[in-house]
Amino acid sequence: MSPAKRLRARMAETGLVHIMATHSPLSAILAEEAGFDGLWASGFELSALYGLSDMSLISMTQHLDMLRAIAGCATLPIVADIDTGYGNAINVVYAIREYERAGASAVVIEDKTFPKVTSLAAGGRQELLRIEEFQGKIEAAVATRRDPNFLVIARTEALIAGLGEADALQRAKAYVGAGADMILIHSKLKNPSEIENFSRAWTQSVPLVIVPNAYPDLDAERVKTLGNIRMMIYGNYGIRAATTCMQETFRRIIADGGVQNVHKDILPVEEIFRLQKMHEIRAAEARFLR
């Protein structure tokens, strides 16, 4: 069964899949071991990894290279965050070909103009495409995919742009009309009211995806009571968790004048060897090195 088919099957079986943001093969391995249903090849996380803002500065090639590396180390389905699709509908055709070939099981394309500004930034410039133009991009993605199980997820940034629920619903319905398999509805409010209201007002059969970054109180139990949401993406938790630990550890080493204290509080190197699958290398050495 292809990873894309597995993702659809898991969604049908459990009613709600949990997708963890990754920025590297190592973070993907950790997400897989922790028990997530899939991986989010996050634009925000990869941008942060390069020390850059999430504003269309990372190229498609950089994102694809990382996605390929992740796909080489993890078996979970990968949902690729392709931002605005790197241009117009023609760029989307090329992107879908490349992402499917690289090992993605789904893409999320958002209805902002290129270059985009990250959604959660206070006062960020949030310009949306005309609905018809974005429909063309969704149609291009659907027409290009080879595996019919590959998910094309349309993300509307109407709430992020401050347009309100009626506009968000109008856009989301138009994207369903263009063939989207799911709708990602995003909000930057610090509480889940916009998402809960949108979800209750959503009457289409196409299910919803959310990214509860700004409103972390909306947990899986609460999501299940809303009915329409089938996918939760934990959008920036990998890079924030890694940064929390590195920041604290690095500061302590400077303050302590050495690593004599921190070494007890971080993983032993043997755990990194395990994640690197050193045992496989040792076995290959024993077998092939003469």
- Positions annotated as catalytic residues are 54
Q: Name which of 145 and 188 has its Cβ closer to ligand SPV.
A: 188
Alpha-carbon span 285 to 141, nearest angstrom: 45
Which one of 114-122, 169-177, 200-208, 262-270 is the stretch in contact with ligand SPV (CB under 6 A)?
114-122
N-terminal to C-terminal alpha carbon distance within the chain: 39
**Partner interacting with residue 135 (select from ligand SPV, Mg ion, none; CB below 5-8 Å by kind):** none
Query: Is there binding between residue 213 and ligand SPV (CB under 6 A)?
Result: yes
Interface residues for ligand SPV in 67-106 (CB under 6 A)? 81
Binding mask 144-183 for ligand SPV (x = CB under 6 A): ----------------------------------------
Residue 81 touching Mg ion (CB under 5 A): yes
Segment near ligand SPV (CB under 6 A); pick from 40-48, 143-151, 252-260, 279-287 = 40-48
Residues engaged in binding Mg ion (CB under 5 A): 43-44, 81
Binding site for ligand SPV (CB under 6 A): 21, 42-45, 54, 81, 118-120, 211, 213, 235-236
